[in-house]
Amino acid sequence: MSGRILGPVYDNEKENWRILTNKEIYAMVKRPTITETIRLNRLCWFGHVQRMEENRIPNKVLYTNLEATRLGGRPRNRWQDEVREDGRLVGRKWWKERLYNTEKWKKLLGTARNHHILHMPME
């Protein structure tokens, strides 16, 4: 969508018009990528559920272990595996300690958002 709004640009080296790549657009607008946004929202929701009482439904669902057979081949990543990886990227080893202090958790996520810590490089 942003490529359409920004339109084509003239490339002086090749002397022709071309469409900007996603990487160039993200560098220009300085907005988080969709991957970054999803990862930050996932961590935000995880922190919210962790601070809930144990008898609340979201907390029960998060830790329910379904007894189902998995398909063959490489196992798919579970939601908790992704959260663990995101947390490791944001706060190294001490990210779980900050979950229960709302102010520290918000500060940690704000830092991750501002410094693009969860940024996945585009190829």
Task: Find the DSSP H helices in the chain.
Answer: 2-6, 22-29, 34-50, 57-62, 79-91, 102-114
Alpha-carbon distance of 118 to 38, in angstroms, equals 10
| Neighbour-count burial of 117, counting CB atoms closer than 10 A to its CB (0-12 exposed, 13-18 middle, 19+ buried) | middle
Q: What pTM did the predictor assign?
A: 0.68
Alpha-carbon distance of 14 to 69, in angstroms, equals 56
Provide the residue-wise pLDDT of the chain in tens; the chain has 123 residues: 555 667 788 878 878 888 888 778 877 777 777 888 888 898 889 888 888 888 899 888 887 877 777 778 888 888 888 888 888 888 777 787 788 888 888 888 888 887 777 666 555
Task: State residue 120's pLDDT score.
Answer: 61
Going by C-alpha positions, the residue among 79, 15, 16 that lies closest to residue 49 is: 79
